[in-house]
């Protein structure tokens, strides 16, 4: 596997910390609203990456958090006269549903901030002890000067960052770039007792603490997220780990590009729909997943009527070919479990090349074409058809695309045979009626 590492700004060959294992952490959402289509992209990309690793024989330990403490959650709870947990529980369920609907595996663990507070307080105390953080009037700040290379993950020059930070300068900070680890608060939102008084943790600490907790180590293989998280969030995560442990938090920092939401607005057929759940409802799971996965993850996606139509057409082409194959295999009782390993290999090759899904898609279409040719032959090689069919399904499974074709009942089989007989008897009227019936049943 080769991955583009944001840290080094280049493609690198993946070397795991532990043989045949991958530790993968993905920053999850702040749960105060429904996921928009942009939030669904990392779900799909990192799930596909996980599935590729698994296909290559790795065991993947996948963790993604829920940020359930945030000023926006508190404000919404107040506005709707609800408990904060009512809001967060609701949106956590909604987010898990999106994962299910997009055929993404649920992470092995989904830690929440509200369940990690003692560990977060302990971690901040250690940062203070090692002089990487300081307290001022109940607030605790991270001392950016305590790490050598602050800004290096997001490839920014410290002086430029400082110019930007001075605009919103806070007199309590030693350096305008220092960031909040613990916030003193006296509002009526959720808060906890700490050595620095009542307050709430800042956003950048939770992921570091959760990684330590969940993986029982201070460095993981892959830290993922949208490119918008590179700075300040990931830079700040890495800085805290480096201050305490003197090394990076992850060996590979992998970032997916954004989705142009202006593009969504430009799509006439969707209007202003840009929530993942609404897109799934309108277009179906496979089309939405395909839209997200068939583009390379480091490229911006513009969602327009054309790109949506293209995804629909492609999924349709694949489904039609597979459905016809399934029917022929069913009618001839010709299913077997064999896979074409070299064909699968050919698909996994681009998928291992920095998750080059567009080239993976190209291999799928080559095989679909092959399948259509095999089906047109007079003397059909059903073993080969079955093997090709199963292999294409396996490729699609890795892409997160699933079809459920059911076997014919004996009644349906009779109907199909009657249709064939009517055709060979040249009874076209009956043949047309039977055909309509077969289409209605979803068999043709």
Q: Which is nearer to Zn ion, 207 or 344 (CB)?
A: 207
Neighbour-count burial for 375-408, b at 16+ CB within 10 Å, e otherwise: beeeeeebeebbbbbbbbbebbebbbbeeebeeb
Q: How far is CA 308 from CA 116, 365, 370, in A?
A: 41, 18, 26
Smallest distance, Zn ion to C-beta of residue 204, A: 7
Smallest distance, Zn ion to C-beta of residue 207, A: 3
Q: Which is nearer to Zn ion, 230 or 394 (CB)?
A: 230
Smallest distance, Zn ion to C-beta of residue 108, A: 17
Strand spans (E) along 202-352: 220-226, 250-256, 259-260, 301-302
Strand spans (E) along 301-349: 301-302
Q: Rounded to an integer, what distance in angstroms lies between the CA atom of residue 83 and that of residue 92?
A: 15
Q: Rounded to an integer, what distance in angstroms lies between the CA atom of residue 50 and that of residue 88?
A: 27
Smallest distance, Zn ion to C-beta of residue 255, A: 12
Structure tokens at 39: 């939030």
Smallest distance, Zn ion to C-beta of residue 237, A: 6
Task: Work out the angle between the directed axes of helices 203-215 and 235-245 (0-180°, nearest 10).
Answer: 60
Smallest distance, Zn ion to C-beta of residue 27, A: 3
Q: Which is nearer to Zn ion, 27 or 364 (CB)?
A: 27
Q: Which is nearer to Zn ion, 207 or 364 (CB)?
A: 207
Q: Contact at 8 Å (CB) between 113 and 120?
A: yes
Q: Which is nearer to Zn ion, 63 or 343 (CB)?
A: 63
Q: Residue 265's closest CA among 38, 33, 28?
A: 38
Q: Which is nearer to Zn ion, 27 or 355 (CB)?
A: 27
Q: Which is nearer to Zn ion, 24 or 27 (CB)?
A: 27
Residue 424: HSE in the Cβ half-sphere, 13 Å Cα cutoff: 5
Neighbour-count burial for 98-121, b at 16+ CB within 10 Å, e otherwise: bbebbbbbebeebbbbeebbebbb
Smallest distance, Zn ion to C-beta of residue 36, A: 18
Q: Which is nearer to Zn ion, 3 or 27 (CB)?
A: 27
Q: Rounded to an integer, what distance in angstroms lies between the CA atom of residue 69 and that of residue 442?
A: 48
Q: Which is nearer to Zn ion, 228 or 281 (CB)?
A: 228
Neighbours of 369 (CB within 10 A): 12
Q: Residue 438's closest CA among 331, 298, 280, 365?
A: 331
Q: Which is nearer to Zn ion, 27 or 190 (CB)?
A: 27
Smallest distance, Zn ion to C-beta of residue 377, A: 54
- Scanning residues 190 to 209, which ones bind Zn ion (CB under 5 A)? 207
Smallest distance, Zn ion to C-beta of residue 112, A: 13
Neighbours of 3 (CB within 10 A): 20
Alpha helices in 81-202 (DSSP H): 84-101, 117-129, 158-166
Smallest distance, Zn ion to C-beta of residue 14, A: 21
Q: Which is nearer to Zn ion, 150 or 389 (CB)?
A: 150
CA pseudo-torsion sign 324, 328, 334, 340? negative
181 binds Zn ion (CB under 5 A): no
**DSSP states of 49-66 as a string?**
HHHHHHHTT-EEEEEE-B
- Scanning residues 18 to 37, which ones bind Zn ion (CB under 5 A)? 27
Smallest distance, Zn ion to C-beta of residue 350, A: 29
Q: Residue for token digits 């699968």?
A: 344
* Residues of the shown chain interacting with Zn ion in the complex, contacts defined by CB under 5 A: 27, 207
């Amino acid at each position: 596997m080769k991955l583009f590492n944001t840290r080094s700004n280049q493609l690198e060959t993946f070397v795991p910390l532990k043989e045949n294992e991958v530790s993968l952490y993905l920053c999850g959402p702040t749960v105060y609203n429904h996921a928009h289509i942009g939030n669904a992209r990392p779900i799909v990309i990192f799930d596909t990456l996980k599935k590729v690793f698994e296909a290559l024989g790795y065991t993947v330990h996948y963790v993604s958090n829920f940020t359930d403490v945030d000023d926006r959650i508190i404000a919404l709870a107040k506005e709707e006269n609800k408990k904060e947990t009512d809001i967060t529980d609701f949106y956590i369920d909604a987010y898990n549903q999106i994962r299910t609907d997009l055929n993404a595996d649920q992470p092995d663990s989904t830690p929440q901030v509200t369940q990690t507070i003692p560990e977060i307080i302990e971690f901040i105390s250690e940062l203070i002890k090692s002089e990487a953080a300081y307290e001022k009037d109940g607030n605790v700040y991270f001392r950016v000067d305590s790490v050598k290379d602050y800004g290096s993950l997001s490839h920014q020059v410290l002086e430029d960052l400082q110019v930007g930070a001075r605009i919103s300068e806070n007199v309590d900070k030693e350096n305008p770039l220092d960031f909040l680890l613990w916030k003193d608060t006296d509002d009526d939102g959720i808060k906890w007792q700490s050595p620095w008084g009542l307050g709430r943790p800042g956003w950048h600490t939770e992921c570091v603490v959760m990684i330590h907790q969940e993986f029982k180590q201070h460095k993981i293989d892959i830290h993922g997220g949208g490119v918008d998280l590179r700075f300040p969030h990931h830079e700040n995560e890495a800085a805290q780990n480096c201050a305490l442990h003197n090394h990076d938090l992850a060996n590979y920092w992998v970032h997916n590009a954004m989705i142009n939401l202006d593009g969504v607005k430009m799509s006439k057929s969707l209007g202003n729909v840009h929530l993942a759940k609404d897109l799934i409802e309108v277009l179906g799971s496979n089309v939405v997943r395909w839209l997200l996965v068939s583009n390379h993850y480091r490229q911006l996606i513009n969602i327009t009527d054309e790109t949506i139509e293209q995804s629909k057409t492609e999924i349709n082409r694949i489904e039609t070919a597979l459905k016809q194959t399934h029917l022929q295999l069913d009618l001839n009782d010709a299913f077997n479990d064999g896979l074409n390993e070299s064909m699968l290999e050919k698909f996994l090759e681009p998928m291992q090349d920095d998750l080059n899904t567009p080239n993976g898609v190209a291999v799928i279409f080559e095989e679909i074409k092959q399948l259509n040719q095999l089906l047109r032959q007079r003397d059909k090689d059903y073993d080969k058809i079955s093997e090709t069919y199963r292999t294409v399904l396996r490729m699609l499974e890795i892409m997160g695309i699933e079809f459920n074709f059911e076997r014919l009942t004996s009644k349906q089989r009779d109907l199909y045979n009657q249709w064939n007989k009517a055709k060979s008897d040249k009874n076209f009227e009956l043949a047309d009626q039977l055909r309509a019936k077969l289409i209605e049943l979803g068999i043709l």
